[in-house]
Amino acid sequence: MPSRPSLNAVVVGLLSALLAFVAVVQVRSQFEVERSLSGVDPTTLAFLIDDLHRANDTLARDAGALAARRAALQGGSNQEAAAQLNAEAAQLRVVEGLVPCMDPVWSSRWTHR
């Protein structure tokens, strides 16, 4: 017949479990803090924040333009679709350097490759 665990063993077991729990919580919280701050100084973070703000502004502008474009296409007009495709083709030719382009403000001019 198996012997019943003594009260002492139960107390020691409970204390060990409590100690292990507290130790794990402490080590985990310390690790989280160190990981989030490792190798990052405030100046670098400030520059990253500035970059991310500008990037997000650009992305928001692009998302807005694309949403407007989708709304126009949902009207189902072929002329609208053709106009949008023409505009995109012209813009992509500039992006890919396939056509001469200029800055209308400064009238600087580059030739295509």
Partner 1 sequence: MTLRRTGAYLLVALTALTFGYLITAQLRAELPVPGNRVVRTEALVRTVQDLESTNAGYRSQISSLRGQIDTLEAQAAQRSDTTQRLRDEVAGLRAHAGVTQLRGPGVVVDLGNGRPGAGATDYLVNFQDIQDVVNLLFQGGAEGVAVNGHRISPLSSFSGPAGTVVIDQGNPLNAPFQVVAVGNRNQMEHLMGDASKLGGLRNRQRALGLALSFQGSPDLTLAPYDSALETRFAQPA
Q: Does 109 bind partner 1 (CB under 8 A)?
A: yes
Closest separation in Å from C-beta 20 to partner 1: 13
Q: Does 24 bind partner 1 (CB under 8 A)?
A: no
Q: Which residues have C-beta within 8 Å of that of residue 86, sequence separation ≥ 6?
A: none
Q: Which two tokens stand for residue 98?
A: 């396939």
Q: Does 63 bind partner 1 (CB under 8 A)?
A: yes
Q: Does 48 bind partner 1 (CB under 8 A)?
A: yes
Q: Which two tokens stand for residue 80?
A: 């609208």
Q: Tell me which residue has tokens 């995109």.
A: 88
Q: Does 32 bind partner 1 (CB under 8 A)?
A: no
Closest separation in Å from C-beta 48 to partner 1: 5
Q: Does 78 bind partner 1 (CB under 8 A)?
A: yes
Q: Which residues bind partner 1 (CB under 8 A)?
A: 7-8, 11-12, 15, 36-37, 39-42, 44-49, 51-56, 58-63, 65-67, 69-70, 73-74, 76-78, 80-82, 84-86, 88-97, 99-105, 109
